[in-house]
Amino acid sequence: MKPFLSFIKMQLNVNYGISALKYRFTREKEKLWEPVLVGVVILVSLLPLAAMYIGLMISMFTAGTIIGQPEMILTVSFVLAQLMILIFGLFYIMGSFYFSKDLETFVPLPLKPYEVVGGKFAVIMVNEYLTSVPILLPPIIIYGAGTGQGIIYWLKSLVLMVVAPVIPLSIAALIIVLLMRVVNLRRYKDLLAIIGGLFAITIGVGSSLLFQNVPENPEEIQNFFTSQTRIVDMIGSRFPPSIWATRGLADVGIAGWGYFLLYLAASAVLMMLLLWISNLVFYKALLAGQEVSRKRNNISKSRISRQIGRTQSPVTAIAKREWKLLMRTPLYVLNGLVSSMLGPIIVAMMLLLKNEPELAELIGSLSEPGIVPYAALACLGLMLFTSGMNLVASTALSREGQTIWIAKMLPVSAKQQVAGKLVVSYVISAIGVLTTSLIMLIFLKIPILWTVGATIVGLVGSVPMASLNLLLDVFHPKLVWNSEQEAMKQNINGGIGMLISLLVLVILGGIAVPMTIIEIPVQMVFAAIGAVAAILGVLSILALFAVAEKKYRDIEA
């Protein structure tokens, strides 16, 4: 048992960087603001969603009380939490059990397969609390306070919250462990990453569309939930643990304890089953996946000569390298190219899905001569927003990670190196702008001349956004990371970069709004925005080059 426990301890330490945090708190106190700022940014950005969720749960509780089923919110929240854990768990488990780099270190250790699986499972479970606790806590508090529950309820709910991820995560792990024994999914790692990312985006878009369909006045809310009760019951009956958890909390006396213990027992049994099966098959699938045969044939001289290219300028060479590395990394494609096109595509989807007559009328009116200029102006806003919401520029230097030594060794000035990066970042932003133009033309039916005008200003406006984002990353790159995820998504520069883009948007909007109010022709407004954006663009590129020269020198590899 001792090696198992110390393995779990080590896994938690490594995954949450506990030793690294200790080091930071004791040795590098000047860098303490970073994690604090990240925490604050995350909390603030989640506040609206939390408020919406809590509001929804309160309405549901009220509706449930009226129809005599106040505990409905518990069932709903357990179903929701467990479903989310199950879905995300599939991807977490796949990554952690079969794709993570540390496996090569663990396999030769004298640990049993179930111990390795158990350790990794523990880490994912702690990760899943980030999903499950925010979903479960509000309904538990609303129900507990609303029905005046005693201490036993609160204690039981604490236990259930701790245990909540076990059942769905064990099921996810069993599915993956057994699936991997049959098919070697390791070959499709990149494909899986893309599927996972698109899946997460679909859930995001889907849930926001769902929230849109929730009625607004109290009476309708009640009717809505009353009509949905059957659905909840149905889902609950397909996934009985959520009913057991609900009954375990809501029922009094022996029945309540019975369901509560049933839930715990089911968790324990599934967990044991997972460990037992893993012990039998985990290493077999893992090791089978590593036997990749590769046939390296000597290729002919002429083929080699064909691959040897002509001499290109250093900036072109760097831009081409950046483009290839970006487009060959699924995670970067998702957070770069896909997220750059996502804004306009979501708008298009919402327009298509929300089949309301008023909307059709609104779209129709956009192409009326008096409205067109303002519609084009609004689309310009969307273009600039879209162009600023990708993480390509704000992580351009960070992504070099451990290969930064090459950048430092190249006989190419920092100015040229960032110029190459700027070209690629700009192209990605420009794709966002052009996607919006297509939507303007196709869905909103804005005349082509106005679309072209907005597109040109949008393309100019993307320059300061991309160069300021890049400047930020050059100023403060995150070069130490272990996964592409950390380099891009868990990089504070991404969030700050978006704020910078918003700031540029606010500045340009600050010019447009007063000009529009005093009824200056919209053509003039476009020209003014374009001119200011161009000046901002030139200034930010000059600043970028100046900062790069100094910062590249200071970076130590």
What backbone phi and psi angles, to 5 degrees, belong to 397? -85, -40
Closest CA to 335 of 215, 235, 194, 443: 194
Segment 359 to 418, residues that bind another protein, using CB under 8 A: 401-403, 405-406, 408-413
Q: Say whether residue 307 binds another protein (CB under 8 A).
A: yes
Angle, helices 240-250 vs 151-163, to 10°: value is: 160
Closer to another protein by CB, 61 or 98: give it: 98
Q: Say whether residue 506 binds another protein (CB under 8 A).
A: no
What SS3 class is residue 412?
coil
User: CA 104 to CA 3: how far, in whole Å?
Assistant: 18
What backbone phi and psi angles, to 5 degrees, belong to 162? -65, -40
Closest CA to 318 of 205, 423, 456: 423
CB of 126: closest distance to another protein in angstroms?
29
Closer to another protein by CB, 189 or 284: give it: 189
Q: Say whether residue 30 binds another protein (CB under 8 A).
A: no
CB of 23: closest distance to another protein in angstroms?
11
Q: Say whether residue 281 binds another protein (CB under 8 A).
A: no
Closest CA to 504 of 552, 465, 451: 465
Q: Residue 479 corresponds to which tokens in the numbers above? A: 């070069």
What is the secondary structure of 512-537 as a DSSP string?
A: HHHHHHTT--HHHHHHHHHHHHHHHH
Q: Which of 117, 318, 529, 533 binds another protein (CB under 8 A)?
A: 318
User: CA 192 to CA 359: how far, in whole Å?
Assistant: 37
Q: Say whether residue 187 binds another protein (CB under 8 A).
A: no
Chain mean position to CA 185 = 23
Q: What is the DSSP letter of 187?
A: G
CB of 309: closest distance to another protein in angstroms?
5
Closer to another protein by CB, 133 or 479: give it: 479
What is the secondary structure of 452-474 as a DSSP string?
A: HHHHHHHHHHHHHHHHHHHHHHH
CB of 477: closest distance to another protein in angstroms?
15
Number of residues counted as binding another protein (CB under 8 A): 41
Q: Say whether residue 254 binds another protein (CB under 8 A).
A: no
Closer to another protein by CB, 173 or 193: give it: 193
Chain mean position to CA 372 = 35
Chain mean position to CA 461 = 26
Binding mask 324-353 for another protein (x = CB under 8 A): xx--xx------------------------
Closer to another protein by CB, 331 or 430: give it: 331
Q: Say whether residue 184 binds another protein (CB under 8 A).
A: no
CB of 25: closest distance to another protein in angstroms?
16
Q: Which of 314, 447, 495, 509 binds another protein (CB under 8 A)?
A: 314
Closer to another protein by CB, 406 or 524: give it: 406
Binding mask 193-212 for another protein (x = CB under 8 A): --------------------
CB of 415: closest distance to another protein in angstroms?
11
Q: Say whether residue 516 binds another protein (CB under 8 A).
A: no
Q: Which of 299, 360, 442, 524 binds another protein (CB under 8 A)?
A: 299
Q: Say whether residue 313 binds another protein (CB under 8 A).
A: yes
Closer to another protein by CB, 227 or 298: give it: 298
Neighbours of 367 (CB within 10 A): 14
β strands within 260-404, DSSP E: none
Amino acid at 488: M
Closer to another protein by CB, 167 or 333: give it: 333
Q: Which stretch binds another protein (CB under 8 A): 47-55, 321-329, 345-353, 537-545?
A: 321-329
Closer to another protein by CB, 216 or 554: give it: 554
User: CA 544 to CA 425: how far, in whole Å?
Assistant: 14
Q: Say whether residue 321 binds another protein (CB under 8 A).
A: yes
CB of 39: closest distance to another protein in angstroms?
27
Q: Which of 130, 308, 352, 517 binds another protein (CB under 8 A)?
A: 308
Closest CA to 160 of 73, 92, 259: 259
Closest CA to 423 of 314, 518, 528: 314
Residues 6+ apart with CB under 8 A from 196: 91
β strands within 492-537, DSSP E: none
Closest CA to 394 of 328, 438, 340: 340
CB of 22: closest distance to another protein in angstroms?
16
Site residues (CB under 8 A) for another protein? Answer: 27, 294, 296-299, 301, 304-305, 307-314, 316-318, 320-321, 324-325, 328-329, 401-403, 405-406, 408-413, 553-554, 556-557
